Amino acid sequence: MKVKVLFFAGLREQLGTSAEEIDLPAGVSTVAGLRSHLQARGGAYEKAFAGKALVRSAVNQDMVPQSARIKAGDEVAFFPPVTGG
């Protein structure tokens, strides 16, 4: 299943890309699974998505928990928490 993955702010800078289409392996059906799949790529991906790294996610522009299901054609966005004042 193919999904479009978007990276924002510091993640975009760290990974060197703002978006990519990924053909997910069987069994990856949640945001957490996608995150693990990305982390397994190693290098900058491993660091960006490691353990307790604070990364928020959205599916089709709606904020979702890591347990949210994803399906073919979804747009999944990852971004670090934003602070302001």
Section 7-35 average pLDDT: 94
Domain residue extents for the chain: 2-79
> Which one-letter DSSP state was computed for residue 25?
P
User: Tokens 């990924």, residue?
Assistant: 22
| Residues ≥6 apart with Cβ < 8 Å to 3 | 21, 22, 24, 34, 70, 72, 73, 74, 75, 76
Residue 40 in tokens: 């397994």
Mean pLDDT, all residues of the chain: 91
What pLDDT score does 1 carry? 93
- Claim: this prediction has a pTM higher than 0.85: yes
- Cα 65 from chain centroid? 12
Q: Which class in CATH covers the domain with range 2-79?
A: alpha beta
Residue 10 pLDDT class (50, 70, 90 cuts): confident
Q: Are 31 and 64 in contact (CB under 8 A)?
A: yes
